[in-house]
Amino acid sequence: MIGSDNILIKSGTVFESSSGKEIVSDILIQNGIIRAIEKNINVEGISKDLVVLNCQNYFVFPGFVDMHVHLREPGNEEEEDIGSGSRAAVRGGITSIACMPNTNPPVDREYLVNYILSKSRLIDFKIYPVAAMSKNLEGKKMTEIGLLKEAGAIAFSDDGKCIQDSKLMYEIMKYASHFDLPLILHEEDYSFSNYGLAHEGYYSAKLGLDGISPFAEELMISRDIMLAKMAGAKIHITHVSSKGSITLIKRAKEAGIKITCDVTPHHLYFNDSFLESYDTNLKVNPPIRSEEDRKALVSAISEGIIDAIASDHAPHFEAEKNTTFKDAANGTIGLETLFKASYTKLVREEKIKLSKLVALLTTGPAKILNIKAPAIKVGNKADIAIIDLEKNKKIKKEDFCSKSKNSAFIGQNLYSEVVYTINNGRLEFINKSC
């Protein structure tokens, strides 16, 4: 069954991209292309190798786009590689990802962009490379933005790091604006985050962890809003974490600045009280912030200030997390829980519309990256995630297929389970436990 490109999705609740409507329908896929979306498709006479997926109790969504993923290849393949990362993505119903350039070496030259693209073609999975803004991510010298774009970079970012040199940032913005590519900005003023391990607040005081003030993020967002306004650049603030950041972005949007932003499921799901266990899987940068901040992120989703939800999938091998909180690396894996965690928190708990969530995982990020969003439409190549929304399971370390298991969600009860994923027209994943 796996690998088949002749598929009949039977009686699924289809999430139609154009209208946002939910209709119970069949979908016929032939040679990877969506041929029909109709009730009770008659398959008589259609080739014998047609795979029929009975989807009566399942939702059928367009494949998700995760615009913030660390694939660790080249350089740290023991943590993740392009192949394992893609398999983890497919398991999470994701069929397109943008990968960050902080590999080893960092993606700051054309051949590295080419390397990722060739791998992507080889495994037949849509990977959009994001290239570095500064050489070797050092924040000192601009990369060859024009050449990198021509090689296939879809955006620029120094993610994991933030360029402290404001003049350099300004020059990058001015130059990048010629190529109309977004700059994905990890915002962090180091003077406010040095030594920091946790959100500066009640829990950092209680737990004796050095604090990271929200100023670390907000000061840099303020700076970059000012610079982007002058430079006419397209900026995208990634993994926004604080209430103050939301206010700044909201105002900038109202002022007509070309600014977008994303949040991660873990910032939407957790607050800093979870750190009482000193669980190193919750050590992320920016840090998990207070309940007040978390609520502000959720409201920002309702208000339409947030443009995308992205996982910031950051694999780390065991020894980097199985240590003290101070010594542990930053980051959580997130591909396999991107939908589950967001759905559980936003739709089940916070009563945000399912269509809103789906937009933030499909059309939202696609628009930011200026790529074609996967859509369930006749004539399109099939990128489809079929999900059982009623399933509820406690997340276990053993359940992940990513090479690294450092998930912040281990131990949490999450709703929904991806049952099938169709990627690039082919049935790529079947969840045997469903």
Q: Give the separation between CA 89 and CA 248, rounded to whole angstroms.
A: 32
Nearer to another protein, 81 or 200 (CB): 200
- Say whether residue 201 binds another protein (CB under 8 A): yes
* Site membership for another protein, residue 406 (CB under 8 A): no
Q: Within positions 50 to 89, which residues make up the interface with another protein, using CB under 8 A?
A: none
Query: Residue 311 contacts by C-beta under 8 Å, 6 or more apart in sequence?
Result: 66, 68, 69, 264, 265, 333, 334, 335, 337, 338
Residue 51 CB, nearest approach to another protein (Å): 45
Burial class (CB in 10 A: 0-12, 13-18, 19+), 273: middle
Q: What minimum distance in Å lies between the beta carbon of 285 and another protein? A: 17
In whole angstroms, the minimum distance from the beta carbon of 280 to another protein comes to 8
42 or 323: CB nearest another protein = 323
Q: What is the 3-state secondary structure (H, E, C) of the chain?
A: CCCCCCEEEEEEEEECCCCCCEEEEEEEEECCEEEEEECCCCCCCCCCCCEEEECCCCEEEECEEEEEECCCCCCCCCCCCHHHHHHHHHHCCEEEEEECCCCCCCCCCHHHHHHHHHHHHHCCCEEEEEECCEHHHCCCCECCHHHHHHHCCCEEECCCCCCCCHHHHHHHHHHHHHHCCCEEECCCCHHHHCCCCEECCHHHHHHCCCEECCHHHHHHHHHHHHHHHHHCCCEEECCCCCHHHHHHHHHHHHCCCCEEEEECHHHHHCCHHHHHHCCHHHCCCCCCCCHHHHHHHHHHHHHCCCCEECCCECCCCHHHHCCCCCCCCCCECCHHHHHHHHHHHHHHHCCCCHHHHHHHHCHHHHHHHCCCCCCCCCCCECCEEEEEEEEEEECCHHHCCCCCCCCCCCCCEEEEEEEEEEECCEEEEECCCC
Residue 319 as a binder of another protein (CB under 8 A): the answer is yes
Among 24, 52, 122, 205, binds another protein (CB under 8 A): 205
Closest distance to another protein from the beta carbon of 288 (Å): 15
Interface with another protein (CB under 8 A), residue from 6, 86, 193, 204: 204
Stretch that binds another protein, among 7-15, 22-30, 207-215, 246-254 (CB under 8 A): 207-215
Q: How far is the CB of 203 from another protein (least distance, A)?
A: 8
Binding piece for another protein, criterion CB under 8 A, among 156-164, 243-251, 323-331, 360-368: 323-331
Q: Is 180 in the site for another protein (CB under 8 A)?
A: no
- Binding of residue 344 to another protein (CB under 8 A): no
Is residue 191 a contact point for another protein (CB under 8 A)? no
317 contributes a contact to another protein by CB under 8 A: no
Interaction between residue 202 and another protein (CB under 8 A): yes
- Among residues 175, 179, 274, 325, which is the contact residue for another protein, using CB under 8 A? 325
211 binds another protein (CB under 8 A): yes
**Site membership for another protein, residue 244 (CB under 8 A):** no
Q: How far is the CB of 195 from another protein (least distance, A)?
A: 6
Binding-site string for another protein from residue 214 to residue 243, where x marks contact by CB under 8 A and - marks none: ------------------------------
Q: What's the closest the beta carbon of residue 326 comes to another protein, in angstroms?
A: 4
Per-residue x/- track, 270-299, another protein (CB under 8 A): -------xx-x-------------------
Stretch that binds another protein, among 225-233, 318-326, 343-351, 371-379 (CB under 8 A): 318-326
State which residue, 211 or 287, has the beta carbon closest to another protein. Answer: 211
- Residues with Cβ within 8 Å of 153's Cβ and at least 6 positions away in sequence, in order, are 107, 113, 129, 130, 131, 181
How many residues sit in the footprint of another protein (CB under 8 A)? 25
- Catalytic residues, which ones? 312
Q: What does the binding site for another protein look like in residue numbers (CB under 8 A)?
A: 195, 197, 200-211, 213, 277-278, 280, 319, 322-327
